[in-house]
């Protein structure tokens, strides 16, 4: 349902993606992980047709994103990392706008809009202007908009951003249900614990390259055959990030020393 083949993208002398390849299948949640600057956002921009790769290709449901952008985008529900909305619109108006762009029947828009807004507990704000909405409320509106046309593929970039705990738990259950219904979900996040719980497979990027991919169980198994305790252990190892615990201890020791008379 999502196929990336040898995606390469450069910004001047910086290589954001260096031959990135992966697939996300029907009925699967694929976790897409990597530290800041690893290339996750660039990948998502290419998959959603917002950015063209220098080389390589991407397809959604069999449609090449570059050659058949309308067909590919029609099958995607997308939630960006930054929850930007038209602040002068109400949630009801915004979903109506999105539905008409996607050429949904008016009856479908009228039926699904209150259903989705009530699901994310903002039905009572359906006719309030979004200029005064919190980040979490805007995120809920974007999640509702992404689900409005019942897409085959969901591409989610930090979808829990701004959500309170009950809403985050609700979204996790919704995603599991959509997966079980055969949907394909690309879930990009920095929250490793959540990815570990809901993802069927994960892809880990570092410096624009895929450094690991497979099921969570496969990747949590060390070379010795002993399972690692958490996805966080593997993430640290494959991305070669500095030990955060050691860095924190060093900082706190320095801070105490400087406070000493």
Residue 142: what pLDDT?
A: 97
pLDDT-based confidence at residue 224 (cuts at 50, 70, 90): very low
The arithmetic mean of pLDDT across residues 124-144, rounded, is 96
Which has the minimum average pLDDT: 21-35, 106-120, 144-158, 186-200? 186-200
- Bridge partners (DSSP) of residue 212 are 204
Q: At what angle do helices 106-119 and 91-101 cross, to 10 degrees?
A: 140
Q: The whole model's pTM is what?
A: 0.87
* C-alpha–C-alpha distance, residues 4 and 56, integer Å: 8
Domain locations in the chain as residue ranges: 2-75+151-259
Q: Which residues of 81-115 are buried (b: 16+ CB within 10 A; e: fewer)?
A: eebebeeebbbbbbbbebbeebebeeeebeebbee
Please provide the DSSP assignment of 154-171 as one string: EEEESTTTT--HHHHHHH
User: What would the two tokens of residue 3 be?
Assistant: 């196929």
* C-alpha–C-alpha distance, residues 175 and 29, integer Å: 8
The domain 2-75+151-259: what is its CATH number?
Answer: 3.40.50.300
Residue 235: what pLDDT?
A: 75
Q: At what angle do helices 165-180 and 135-147 cross, to 10 degrees?
A: 10
pLDDT digits (tens, 9 = 90+) for 69-110: 999 999 999 999 888 899 999 999 999 999 999 999 999 999
The arithmetic mean of pLDDT across residues 10-22, rounded, is 96
Q: Look at residues 169, 176, 130, 138 and name the one whose alpha carbon lies nearest to residue 154.
A: 176
């Amino acid at each position: 349902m999502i196929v990336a083949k040898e995606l390469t993208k450069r910004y001047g002398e910086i290589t954001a993606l260096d031959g990135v390849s992966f697939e996300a299948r029907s009925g699967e949640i694929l976790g897409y992980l990597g530290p800041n600057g690893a290339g996750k956002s660039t990948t998502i921009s290419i998959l959603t047709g917002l950015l063209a790769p220098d080389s390589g290709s991407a397809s959604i449901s069999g449609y090449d994103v570059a050659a058949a952008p309308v067909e590919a985008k029609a099958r995607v529900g997308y939630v960006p990392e930054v929850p930007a909305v038209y602040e002068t619109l109400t949630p009801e108006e915004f979903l109506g706008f999105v539905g008409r762009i996607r050429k949904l029947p008016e009856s479908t828009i009228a039926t699904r809009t209150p259903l989705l807004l009530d699901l994310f507990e903002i039905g009572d704000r359906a006719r309030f202007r979004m200029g005064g909405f919190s980040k979490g409320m805007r995120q809920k509106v974007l999640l509702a908009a992404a689900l409005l046309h019942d897409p085959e593929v969901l591409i989610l970039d930090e979808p829990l951003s701004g959500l309170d705990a009950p809403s985050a738990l609700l979204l996790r259950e919704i995603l599991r249900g959509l997966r079980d219904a055969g949907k394909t979900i690309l879930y990009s996040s920095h929250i490793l614990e959540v990815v570990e719980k809901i993802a069927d497979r994960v892809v880990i990027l570092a410096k624009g390259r895929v450094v690991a991919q497979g099921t969570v169980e496969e990747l949590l198994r060390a070379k010795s055959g002993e399972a690692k305790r958490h996805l966080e252990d593997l993430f640290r190892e494959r991305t070669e990030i500095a030990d955060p615990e050691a860095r924190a201890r060093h900082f706190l020791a320095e801070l105490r020393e400087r406070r000493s008379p």
